[in-house]
Amino acid sequence: MSLIKTLETPAKNTWCPGCGNFGILAALKAAISDLGLDNEEIVVVTGIGCHGKLSDYINTNSIHVIHGRVIPVAMGVKIANPRLTVIGHAGDGDAYAIGMGHLPHAARRNIDIIYIVHNNMVFGLTTGQVTPTSPRGLRTRSTPFGNPEEPMNPVLLALTSGATFVARGFSGNVRHLTYLMKEAIRHRGFAFIDVLQPCVTFYNTYKYLRERTYELETTGHDPSDYDQALRITLHSSKERVPIGIIYKVRKPTFLEAIGFDKPLVDYDRSNVSLSRILNTLR
């Protein structure tokens, strides 16, 4: 059984004081500990951005990948060993810009991984430029006269792409975020959580989000109702921001569909002939 203290590492944490990443890391450790998961049965995959340091700050198997490639690496790990719990972490610039093409395909395949996006709506690591989720009009170093573009809706994208678990969290509400992560880990299928995460240095949204977020679990929302989930993602107000499980349904996973249920190394390879395969390519 994993305890929070066993998930700590000696690495010096260099996030800015007050960074929303602290809340996400705390929630992840609490979720793993509460579920009693074995550290050695977990693989954390992180991308490029401030969030990427998370793999240094948690004592599990981990891999730090190139920009935008969290999902394909996480998928490869899961296919190679379905017994592992694979948790991908990406930033909004990492996930929704260069890595955007991977999200809808992972969702429609229903690959059994957890994908957590640290959405602070700016490129924090490179001094605060706009990302695909930056609000229209936001002044940054790359948009000194205001962002001219409308932000994308990542939760709507995941939902309409076929994700079987879609949620939104807030890093300032660690208790609730821990609950979302636990449910995502328990879920069989592609679990997506977009975490609203303030960047205290370049776009501090703590006050805004604390005043406007509300938990869907207190409203009687039915996460199995796709139409209801669609309405929530389409009509969320700037004055009221829902957090919680927006949609959840059980469908066959990618590995179930292709008949994989154990690590590749456990399959009988006695009849495998590389020579025969290579001869077909000549």
What CATH number is attached to the domain comprising 232?
3.40.50.970
At which residue do the structure tokens 């309405």 appear? 231
**In this predicted structure, what is the pLDDT of residue 282?**
77
**In this predicted structure, what is the pLDDT of residue 263?**
87
**In this predicted structure, what is the pLDDT of residue 276?**
79
What average pLDDT values come out for the chain (282 residues) when binned by 10 residues? 82 96 98 95 97 97 96 97 97 95 97 98 93 95 95 97 98 98 98 97 96 96 97 86 97 94 84 82 80
**In this predicted structure, what is the pLDDT of residue 198?**
97
Assess contact for 63 and 73: CB atoms under 8 A. Answer: yes
Q: Which amino acid belongs to residue 180?
A: L
At which residue do the structure tokens 């939902």 appear? 159
**In this predicted structure, what is the pLDDT of residue 14?**
96
Comparing C-alpha atoms, which of 154, 152, 177, 163 is closest to residue 226? 163
How many structural domains comprise the chain?
1
**In this predicted structure, what is the pLDDT of residue 144?**
95
**In this predicted structure, what is the pLDDT of residue 2?**
55
**In this predicted structure, what is the pLDDT of residue 261?**
84
**Domain range for 211:** 4-280
169: which 2 tokens? 């969290």
Q: Which amino acid belongs to residue 30?
A: A
